[in-house]
Amino acid sequence: MIKKSHSLLKFHGVRGSRPVHASGFLGYGGNTTCLEIETGFDFILAIDCGTGLQHISRRLRLHPNRKKIHILLTHTHWDHVLMLPLLKELANPELEVSIHAPDIGSKTFSELFETMLKLGRLPIPKAQIKCKLTFHRIQPGQTFLLEGKVKVSTFQVNHQHITLGYKIGLQDGCIAVITDTALLTADNILGQGMNERALLIGPKNFEKEYNQGLIRFLKGVDCLVFDTHFNEDNLKPNWGHATPDLAINFCIKSGIKRLFLFHHAPEDNDDKVAIKQEYARNLALHRGIQVINAREEDEWPILSA
């Protein structure tokens, strides 16, 4: 039986590190991280505010009846936040923007955003924020409801600061988004607070705890968006990024049947990104895992037909 899906995953920016515009890169797109989940409810749900956010900005102008946005931030590196203060719609008094983000060091994201506005580095006149802007501090291992309807769970992944992976439970499926993470081993522990935990229980025990925790977190997920910035040949583990091999490994162990390769390196042109997909499909062969390259402005149902 084919189950009809209402929830959609939309890719607005699929690049990691920095935006890139050049011939040979237009096929998969050059904007940095921004995804949207069409939940079937009346609010927009976005993940991260890389330059791909400009697609949502454009749509908001075309559909001014959309009055509410929830933004889940994975972390605060430029490729995930740069467009937020440049979002023109922050000047719309009819819009409600709720930002859910982890603390970074001793600062809340609300404080960091205030700093972004106050530094005098924004290439626009002093931001006139007239929308109803609210900030929600979230933590690793937390579960909360958006508008009482959409269940969101978080997991701290292996990347600088506190970087969150999100699992989003929808009416007709479940998606997990892990934009930036590296293989965690006893000698490659990157996240804020992780080393303290590793010291407490021992690095090897922490490695086991983390990896088993992430596998548990991903159980029951219908589709996974996962960092595949590197491949096994050019991997720099301490940069905090992963490979298709790691992504597929987690799919196998968590029983996930659909994988989107994401956070394409800005150095990788369309041909290289296509080769990555082919490589990953070969890895997933006979595993029953559908492997798809994330491509800017593609839309996918959360559940495959």
Partner 1 sequence: MANSVRIKFRGVRAIHSAPGHHNQTTGGNTSCIQIDDGSSTIFVNAGFGISAAGSDIMSARSTTGKNVDVSILFSDFLWDSTIGFLSFAPIHFKSSKIQIVTGSTVATAIDGLDDAASPFFSPFENFRGLSAKKSFIQIHEGLKIGGWDVSGLLTNNPLTPYGATIWRLKNNKGDDIGIVMLCDRSEDTLAKVGNFLSGCKTLICAATAHPEHDSWSEHRTGFEEALTLALAAKTEALFLTHFHPELDDVILQEELIKLKLSLASMRKDNPSVKLSIYLANEIEDISLATSTLIKKAI
Least Å from the CB of residue 131 to partner 1: 14
3-state class percentages of the chain: helix first, strand second, coil last, to nearest 5:
30, 30, 45
Beta-carbon count within 10 A of 185 CB: 15
Judged by CB under 8 A, the chain residues 37 through 56 that form the site for partner 1 are 51, 54
- Which residue is it, tokens 């949502």? 56
Could you say which DSSP state residue 18 is in? S
Is residue 29 at the binding interface for partner 1, with CB under 8 A as the rule? yes
Least Å from the CB of residue 233 to partner 1: 18
Q: How far apart are CA 111 and CA 104, in angstroms?
A: 10
Q: How far apart are CA 27 and CA 295, in angstroms?
A: 8
Least Å from the CB of residue 282 to partner 1: 29
Q: Which one of 5, 7, 17, 156 is in contact with partner 1 (CB under 8 A)?
A: 17
Least Å from the CB of residue 195 to partner 1: 16
Q: Which one of 185, 239, 270, 272 is in contact with partner 1 (CB under 8 A)?
A: 239
Backbone angles phi, psi at 68, to 5 degrees: -140, 130
CB-based contact 96:69 (threshold 8 Å): yes
Angle, vertex CA 220, rays to CA 214 and CA 226, nearest 5: 50
Least Å from the CB of residue 231 to partner 1: 18
Q: Read off the tokens for 225.
A: 């968006």
Q: Which one of 4, 21, 63, 286 is in contact with partner 1 (CB under 8 A)?
A: 21
Stretch that binds partner 1, among 21-29, 134-142, 202-210, 216-224 (CB under 8 A): 21-29
Q: How far apart are CA 245 and CA 166, in angstroms?
A: 20
CB closer to partner 1, 34 vs 224: 34
* Binding positions for partner 1, rule: CB under 8 A: 17-23, 25-26, 29-31, 51, 54, 76-78, 81-83, 86, 88, 91, 104-105, 107, 112, 115, 119-125, 160-161, 239-240, 266-267, 296
